[in-house]
Amino acid sequence: MKPAWRNASFLIGISITTIIVVTALVSLVWTPYPPTKIDIVHKLAAPSWQHWLGTDPFGRDVGSMIMAGARSSLSVALIAVLVGAGIGIPLGAFASAVGGWVDSAVMRLTDLAFAFPALLTAVMITALAGPGAGNAMLAIGIFNIPVFARVTRGATLAVRELDFVMAARATGRGEFSIMARHVLPNISAVLLVQVTIQFALAIIADAGLAYVGLGTQPPFPSWGRMLNDAQTYIFKAPLLAVFPGLAITSAVLGLNLLGDGLRDLLDPRLSSRR
């Protein structure tokens, strides 16, 4: 195994991800300006020493808004992935341990879930249940459930045929106990990689929902909402449309690279670069 510090994807990915997580955490205690502070005199200011990324049509500091936006984006994505993994992984493990018609039924259900364009249904759920960060987390989380169920089932099926599982079975352990003690720990690498992928997708979905006004609600800043606001001023202040998008793209890029790196490091058999 190559050491972690020799894997470029992992290094770049973990660096970007760390920067974004730290930014989100720092925004809890400090931002250059209060992110919701309106200052009409200095509206639509170009980037300067006072306002590094300029100000928006209300004179709010774009840099501060992006810092606070990282917090809302990461928290929505985190909860969405926790919901998906928290229900999907046990569901997939259960289906594979029990087998038979239960397994088929769970798999048909995931097939059915994949038939619904995820973002469209998330739009429907958040719009009808009420826009906001909480419903966005749930709506995105629901579509993570079948993904985690599928991946878990597929990975456990392979591991369950291995000798050490046979040995555990021979000692008289029950299927569920074997699943928890022997099988799941062995597929943690696969699951961890999946978590980074879903995290990245959740950030895009959250930004999409916020863009159409269904995610985190104003005045609390969100990257998607900032893009929507920026579009109105696209002729006057084109830069406003650039920074929030860069933030989303770097967060997603960082997580994707981290996922690729983890895959290479943890499970060379799954490596995409041969």
Partner 1 sequence: MTAFLIRRLVGLVVTLWLATVVVFLVLQVLPGDPAALMLDTSARPDTIAALRHQMGLDRSAWVRYGAWIWGLVRGDFGVSYTYAVPVSELIAQRVMVSVPLAVLSICLSTAIAIPVGVLAAARRGRGTDAAIMGVAQFGVALPNFWLGILLILLFAVAYPVFPAGGFVGWEKGFWPALRCLILPALSLALPQAAILSRVTRSAVLETLGQDYVRTALAKGLSGVMALWRHAVPNALIPVVTIIGLQFSFLLAGTVIIENVFALPGMGRLVFQAIAQRDLIVVQDLVVLLAGAVIVVNFLVDLAYLGLDPRISHEGAK
Contacting residues toward partner 1, per CB under 8 A? 111-112, 114-121, 123-125, 127-130, 200, 204, 207-208, 211-212, 227, 230-231, 234-235, 238, 241-242, 244-245, 248-250, 252-253, 256-257, 272, 274
Smallest distance from partner 1 to CB 145, Å: 14
Quick one: tokens of 45? Answer: 């200011």
Question: CA 89 to CA 95: how far, in whole Å?
Answer: 10
Distance CA(218)–CA(210), nearest Å, equals 10
Q: Closer to partner 1 by CB, 8 or 166: give it.
A: 8
User: 210 near 139, Cβ under 8 Å?
Assistant: no
Give the residue with the Cβ less far from partner 1, 85 or 252.
Answer: 252
Please say which residue, 129 or 180, places its beta carbon nearer to partner 1: 129
- We find the least distance from the C-beta atom of residue 124 to partner 1, in angstroms, to be 6
Nearest alpha-carbon partner for 239 in 64, 63, 41, 21: 63
Residue 95 CB, shortest distance to partner 1, in Å, is 17
Cβ–Cβ under 8 Å, residues 210 and 224: yes
Closest distance to partner 1 from the beta carbon of 252 (Å) = 4
Which residue, 39 or 267, is less far from partner 1 as judged by CB? 267
Torsion angles phi and psi, residue 55, rounded to 5: -125, 160
For the record, the structure tokens of 6 come out as: 């020799």
Of the two residues 78 and 242, which places its CB atom closer to partner 1 in the complex? 242
Nearest to 99 by CA among 42, 176, 15: 176
Between CA 247 and CA 243 the distance in angstroms is 6
In the complex, minimum distance from the CB of residue 177 to partner 1, in angstroms, rounded to a whole number: 29
